[in-house]
A and B are shown apart, each in its own frame.
Chain A
Amino acid sequence: MTINSNENKTAMQEILLLQRSDNFCSLGNIFLHSPVMIRRRTFSLQRLLFFVPLLILMEQPAASQEHHSSVSSTWLILQTIPSLTWISLPAQINFALEWEATPVLYSFGMNRLDPRWHFMKVTQPERFAGSMEFNISAQLYTSKIGSSHWGFSGQIVTHLPLIERGEYLGLHLGAARYTIAGLSSTYLLGGVSTLFGFLHYTIKYSPVEIIWMHSVEFRFF
């Protein structure tokens, strides 16, 4: 964590004081005690991350929508299996179970028979061979963060294939909004995935709150 303003210094001093005391045990405490988490301001880089890929999407030719397999009951049941996440928060490492859903994904790396737009059901190649998606997730942390075990997030992520169309190595860039312990903050995120998209390492950075998070995820969705 770095400090770049007087206001943040004050907040950071507060966190450091909390860290020295027994009260500090989680990111939730930071959220609850730090004034930097309350402040809201427009960040132009975030806007860029949201709107530039959208403009790129609008330039793409329409894809065939003639066929796409529908959501089956087996698929639905398997979606209840959570992904496993180890997340390094500023004050602790937490293990979490995570359930994700992809309301919409635009795939730009697949063959011309495959539709470009996908809703909810997405195969690994449709995601990792090149795509941009909006996904939402709920995290159940094994340790309490603030007053809750639960966290929620929404992300817009671009997946770019690096090796074997993303199956061996993929790069992910995007922005996320996390709500933990009832407080929200926006993060820029970047990461890599391997093992056919199942294993991820992601760094998340909140430019407003100056918070770094690292996570290793065994992602199943």
Chain B
Amino acid sequence: MISGCNPLITRFIAKSFEDIPRDAETVATKIEHPILPHVGLSILWVGHATCLIQIGDKVFLTDPMFGNTAGLISKRRIEPGIAPSSIDKLDFILISHIHFDHLHYGSLEMLSKTAVMLMPPGSREYTPEFGFSDYRELHPWEIFESGGVRITAVPVNHFNGRYGFDASWSESDTFTGYVLEYQGKTVFFAGDTGYDSEKFKEIGKRFTIDAALIPIAPIEPRDFMRRFHTDPQEALQVFEDAHAKTMIPIHHRTFVQGLDSSLTYAQDQLKHLVSEQHLEGRVLILNVGEQKILIP
């Protein structure tokens, strides 16, 4: 709230208000049954940082966000790629941090209660009871194991707090990434992060990653965003540092973010870079609601 005095925030709020009369873009074909009977590894991009990951018989959902606004201010510009009710099996919910667009109470209420909710340290003070089977806070490099699934919290770069003023009194970093391992497949979910060569190279050393979900927005104003958000060029560098086989960009095209000139600003830049660096087969730019089977 104190940060509301910042001219950048004022410009962002003004930009968000411009979107109020606009209707959210619809997703033409929504997958009604996203949980597949037999699959090695599949990823469905629901929008923003929300991905439905299936490895064999285990289902993971990252940063569930099905709401119409993030923090009452930023309006959703494209509807969620699937209905939350279509996720009829859910084993793990992974929360990267406690910002409104990643820890969304209304979305968590809609999900299956059989899941275990994993979150970074300090999140418990911001998480109401949703009736999930378990809640766990994971510190960097801490491992949670259940039913053959191994989930490691990995360090990333972002910022604390939920309401602005509370960022300054957090005693530890309330943000994280995760590496999921099951049946020999490995997925890296970077959450929301700025670029940090050391951290991502370390992740690359410790794991053999099949798929990396890496944020590419917001980009502008770069001087400010650089510390907390990777742009498409930096996201590709994370991809390289982590030695992942495949990258799927996330955290773009869904909400008004920063001062990016259009909703596809980051995606367009990424497309250009992918073409320039001949990464077409390895960087998969999914549409909202698109599901990709990476390992049958």
In the complex, what distance in Å separates the CA atom of A75 from the CA atom of B1? 15
Q: Is the CB of B1 within 8 A of A113?
A: no
A6 CB–B CB distance under 8 Å: no
In the assembled complex, the CB of A144 is this many whole angstroms from the nearest CB of chain B, namely 30
Q: Give the docked Cα–Cα distance between A93 and B271 (Å).
A: 59
Whether A129 contacts B128 in the complex (CB less than 8 A), given A164-B105, A165-B105, A167-B105, comes out as yes
Stretch at the interface among A95-103, A119-127, A202-210: A119-127
> Cβ of B127: which chain A residues have Cβ within 8 Å of it?
110-111, 113-114, 125
Q: In the assembly, what is the distance between CA of A112 and CA of B132, in Å?
A: 10
How many Å lie between the Cα of A112 and that of B129 in the bound state? 7
Most A C-beta atoms less than 10 A away, residue of B124, B126, B127, B136: B124
Contact pick for B130, options A111, A130, A167, CB 8 Å: A111
Question: Which of the residues A69, A129, A165, A220 comes within 8 Å of B171, measured between beta carbons?
Answer: A69
Evaluate contact between B125 and A125: CB separation under 8 angstroms.
Answer: yes
B237-265: CB near A (< 8 Å → 1, else 0) gives 00000000000000000000000000000
Q: Mark A63-96, 1 if CB is under 8 A from B, else 0.
A: 0000111101011001000000000000000000
Q: How far is the CB of A104 from chain B (nearest CB, A)?
A: 16
Indicate which residue in A69, A109, A130 contacts B125 across the interface (CB closer than 8 Å).
A69
List CB contacts (< 8 Å) of B120-163 with chain A: 122, 124-130, 135-137, 162-163
CA distance A123 to B125 in the complex (A): 7
B171→A125 contact, CB < 8 A:
no
Give complex CA distance A176, B214 in Å.
Answer: 51
The contact of B137 among A113, A124, A126, by CB within 8 Å, is: A113
CA A161 – CA B128 in complex, angstroms? 11
A137–B135 CA distance with the chains assembled, in angstroms: 35
Which A-chain residue is minimally distant from B130 (CB atoms)? A111
Out of B71, B105, B122, name the residue touching A69 (CB < 8 Å).
Answer: B122
Tell me the complex Cα distance, A68–B121, Å: 11
How far is it, in angstroms, between the C-alpha of A113 and the C-alpha of B106 when the chains are bound?
20
User: With the chains together, A125 CA to B122 CA distance in Å?
Assistant: 13
The smallest beta-carbon distance between B17 and chain A, in angstroms, is 15
| B171 pairs with A72, CB closer than 8 A | yes
Q: Can you show 29 pairs from A to B with CB atoms below 8 A apart?
A: A67-B124, A68-B125, A69-B170, A69-B171, A72-B169, A72-B171, A74-B168, A75-B169, A78-B168, A78-B169, A110-B124, A112-B129, A112-B135, A113-B137, A114-B125, A114-B127, A124-B162, A124-B163, A125-B127, A129-B129, A161-B128, A164-B105, A164-B106, A165-B128, A168-B72, A195-B72, A196-B71, A196-B72, A220-B165
**A residues at B contact (CB < 8 Å):** 67-70, 72, 74-75, 78, 109-114, 123-126, 129-130, 161, 164-165, 167-168, 195-196, 198, 220
